[in-house]
Amino acid sequence: MSNLLGFGMARGLTENRTRNTLLVVVVFGLCSFFYLLGLWRRSGSGGGDRIQTWVNEQTKCVYLPNLNFETHHSASDLPNGTSNSEIKAFEPCDEEYTDYTPCQEQKRAMTFPRDNMVYRERHCPPENEKPHCLIPAPKGYVAPFTWPKSRDFVPYANVPHKSLTVEKAIQNWVHYEGNVFRFPGGGTQFPQGADKYIDHLASVIPIADGKVRTALDTGCGVASLGAYLLKKNVLTMSFAPRDNHEAQVQFALERGVPAYIGVLGSIKLPFPSRVFDMAHCSRCLIPWSGNDGMYMMEVDRVLRPGGYWVLSGPPIGWKIHYKGWQRTKEDLRNEQRKIEQFAELLCWKKISERDGIAIWRKRLNDKSCSLKRDNPEVGKCELTNDSDVWYKKMAVCITPLPKVTSASEVAGGQLEPFPKRLNAVPPRIALGSVPGFSVQSYEEDNKLWQKHVIAYKKTNNLLDTGRYRNIMDMNAGLGSFAAALESPKLWVMNVVPTIADTSTLGVIYERGLIGMYHDWCEGFSTYPRTYDLIHANAIFTLYQNKCKFEDLLLEMDRILRPEGAVIIRDKVDVLVKVEKIAKAMRWDTRLADHEGGPHVPEKILFAVKKYWAITEKSS
């Protein structure tokens, strides 16, 4: 990994004025010679490649910007204590913190009400209870298998929990074999494998032609549905609570499948409205018929117009399976009747029910649904804006769709099939629904991030090779970083901070990408060591008056795998402080100039988290 970070990164060097002047003269002269040499070579008079390479190696012209640092970005402009203060090295946490999830810890969860699964929702620790230490990897931790092998095999040492192999043995969730877990692709409703189950869905839903790109799997287990939908180029956001089904989301992420710790309880899902092409529940134990249909209304909120809802397991197929479910016919009949009534209220059309699987399709717009408009029992939800969901309570109401001029028009605009939609102008941009963004600025943002990613690859040539499967973008903007990286070898969790000036998450989903809202002053809803690479664009500037840099970096370290990489773009004064903290966390770092040159105040910090585990605490 040292080779990865050793491509002539610009470093902040402290030199005396005399030596600076001498170095400037010498390096300027040699670089001028190199420039003239390059002109001569391009003129066709000779081949100077080897000489050019030698001059570069001997002079390290990329160091020149640092000699100008004092001129363009004076240390006197840095915050008090930034350049001189020393950061004490962070100690490892105790072994009990190996699987620490700050906002879903069991002890704290059990102090909250069980009604509507409140106790399984996010409950973050107060400041005085945060552990200011480094979360250790378990003994024997190894790098995960690369995709697609990781879909089927996970090293036992990385997730040393066997309970699911016993609890779900006959359902083919996961098997323990020697020093690995094997995932045969089964699930509670598809013990024979996800492929056949998906083929059944594809016989009704247009999965294969790119019209279904983003899916939501509620109560996902080990996310085998999401894992196998990737073969159809469908990107699934899977979630499940941290409960007695030990480490199910951890298994999903270790397999290289998008997932987060979550539950459909009392607060809204961390997504804007109208973002998923399909939502799915396979015996997910969510009481769809309860709470006056509130959970179905929440699915309706996040489902695109014309999107699909799949429900398999109880009560669907009750006439055949009621004995195996150990429930009465009457109980199951009443449960399905209520679900059908709520679906009708939402103007969903049932398009299939066979083999224990029911599929509904959401209305295209509100104009075609007089029942929904005129029903006096259920009102319309009132949202101050599309992103007003973070820690907001769900309610028994129906989210209105954007207005249309005809009953055949798709509310909010028609999407292109994937992959064309990745770089097509998203309807939210085209319709002017995102303040501060136009078609022109969207296209410019795309080009800018393509340029940034090209520059990243010059430093980290493993970026899109499959070395990094699970990638986190902490401040995703329009999703252009993820779009520039798009590949079957990787996926990106695009996070839009809740304190961002503008909500752009809807645009990200309209591009066929996935992500969620999050406040980075709190722990992310994932297990430790679940991301291979973290990208952070201006996240420290955004949060500098909200929470401590130390807390942000400790959270990044928690979710980053050993030997994982970090790319941070920010202002130089911010990065000087960040780098000091990062080094105290056992990260190797290199500070680089912006690809636009040394006079650009934005810099890039590249880092790699060193490998260490419980047995190496003192290293």
pLDDT tens per residue, range 227-277: 999 999 999 999 999 977 778 999 999 999 999 999 999 999 999 999 999
Segment 515-537 shows an average pLDDT of 98
Of 78-92, 101-115, 419-433, 500-514, least confident by mean pLDDT is: 78-92
Segment 103-111 shows an average pLDDT of 94
Kindly state the helix (H) or strand (E) to which residue 343 belongs, with its residue range.
Answer: helix 329-345
The predicted structure's pLDDT at residue 46:
38
Segment 473-502 shows an average pLDDT of 97
Spell out where 224-275 has E strands. 235-240, 259-261
Residue 86 confidence class, pLDDT cut points 50, 70, 90: confident
The predicted structure's pLDDT at residue 172:
75
pLDDT at 37 over 50: no
The predicted structure's pLDDT at residue 169:
62
The rounded distance, in Å, linking the Cα atoms of 428 and 443 is: 14
Query: Could you please report the per-residue DSSP string of 553-608?
Result: HHHHHHHEEEEEEEEEEEEHHHHHHHHHHHHTTTEEEEEEE-TT-TTSSEEEEEEE
CA of residue 167 relative to chain centroid, distance: 29
The rounded distance, in Å, linking the Cα atoms of 260 and 531 is: 12
Q: Which residue has the higher pLDDT, 371 or 443?
A: 443
The predicted structure's pLDDT at residue 424:
98
Cis, peptide link before residue 305, omega less than 30° from 0: no
The predicted structure's pLDDT at residue 387:
79
The domains found in the chain, sorted by start residue, are 186-362 (3.40.50.150), 419-609 (3.40.50.150)
pLDDT at 79 over 80: no
Mean pLDDT of the chain: 86
Q: Which residue has the higher pLDDT, 379 or 243?
A: 379
The predicted structure's pLDDT at residue 376:
62
The DSSP secondary-structure symbol of 125 reads: P
Of 5-19, 358-372, 489-503, 593-607, least confident by mean pLDDT is: 5-19
Residue 87 confidence class, pLDDT cut points 50, 70, 90: confident
Any bridge partners for residue 568, and if so which? 536, 605
User: SS3 letters for 304-332?
Assistant: EEEEEEEEECCCCCHHHHCCCCCCCHHHH
The rounded distance, in Å, linking the Cα atoms of 332 and 316 is: 8
pLDDT at 42 over 80: no
Number of Cβ within a 10 Å radius of residue 171: 16
> 105-109: which pairs have CB atoms within 8 A and are 24 or more residues apart?
106/242, 109/242
Q: Are 242 and 261 in contact (CB under 8 A)?
A: yes
Task: List the end-to-end C-alpha distance of the chain, in Å, as a whole number.
Answer: 18
What values do phi and psi take at 167, rounded to 5?
-65, -40
Residue 22 confidence class, pLDDT cut points 50, 70, 90: low
Spell out where 34-165 has E strands. 153-155
The rounded distance, in Å, linking the Cα atoms of 269 and 349 is: 23
pLDDT at 554 over 50: yes
Q: Which residue has the tokens 């996800």?
A: 194
Q: What strands, in cross-sheet order, belong to the sheet with 602-609? A: 514-518, 491-497, 470-473, 531-537, 560-571, 602-609, 587-593
Token pair listed for 414: 């028609």
Percentage with pLDDT > 90 across the chain? 73
pLDDT tens per residue, range 313-371: 999 999 888 888 889 999 999 999 999 999 999 999 999 999 999 999 999 999 887 65
CA of residue 252 relative to chain centroid, distance: 13
pLDDT at 41 over 60: no
The DSSP secondary-structure symbol of 124 reads: P
Q: 3-state class of 393 per DSSP?
A: strand
Any bridge partners for residue 176, and if so which? 181
pLDDT at 36 over 60: no
pLDDT at 193 over 70: yes
The rounded distance, in Å, linking the Cα atoms of 466 and 476 is: 21
Number of Cβ within a 10 Å radius of residue 410: 16
Of the candidates 218, 204, 235, the one whose C-alpha atom is nearest the C-alpha of residue 226 is 235
The predicted structure's pLDDT at residue 578:
97
pLDDT at 482 over 60: yes
Dihedral sign for Cα 239, 387, 235, 202, please: positive
Name the CA radius of gyration of the chain, rounded: 26
pLDDT at 544 over 80: yes
Token pair listed for 453: 């990613």
Angle between helices 329-345 and 294-302 (to 10 degrees): 40
Angle at 477 between CA 82 and CA 557, to 5 degrees: 50
The predicted structure's pLDDT at residue 76:
33
The DSSP secondary-structure symbol of 137 reads: B
The predicted structure's pLDDT at residue 320:
86
The DSSP secondary-structure symbol of 116 reads: G
Alpha-carbon distances, residue 574 vs 271, 582, 607 (angstroms)? 30, 12, 15
pLDDT at 226 over 90: yes
The predicted structure's pLDDT at residue 619:
40
Residues 6+ positions from 178 with CB-CB distance below 8 Å: 156
Token pair listed for 325: 């479910």
pLDDT at 26 over 80: no
CA of residue 2 relative to chain centroid, distance: 27
Segment 477-498 shows an average pLDDT of 98
The rounded distance, in Å, linking the Cα atoms of 394 and 265 is: 8
